[in-house]
Structure 1
């Protein structure tokens, strides 16, 4: 089980295809991972950008941020595999 105490951030990307490819590589090599997905267009404390502008001019391909975490002990192996 990956927890906040034994994990290390492997990658941050806005590209859904790239995060999917990385996850496939990690799975194929039996490296456990956790993905944290953040909607960059979601509401914040002061309101959402979308409330003011709608979807006009926003590239939907980059509206989510993906952070991939692995165990600290697997980090070096994971870096070698994805490079």
Structure 2
């Protein structure tokens, strides 16, 4: 199965052992989007510093499912930048 992958790398200074377990609004929204897309969301350390957030979901062959996926992603970005 082929997958789409959206990866965001934040190379900011973080205390990985302390901040890695904490999730905020963006993480919660990404997890919700992963559920909508029947995909997975992962967040893990980026060395030597920072965090990687990765969203993967299956490619679909049906045009109506691709349209639905794009609507979900568009809504996700709107929520991120409105708050």
TM-score (norm 1): 0.41
Q: Which is bigger in relative contact order (C-alpha 8 A, separation at least 6)?
A: 1
Decide which structure has greater helix share. 2
Q: Which one has the largest radius of gyration?
A: 1
TM-score (norm 2): 0.41
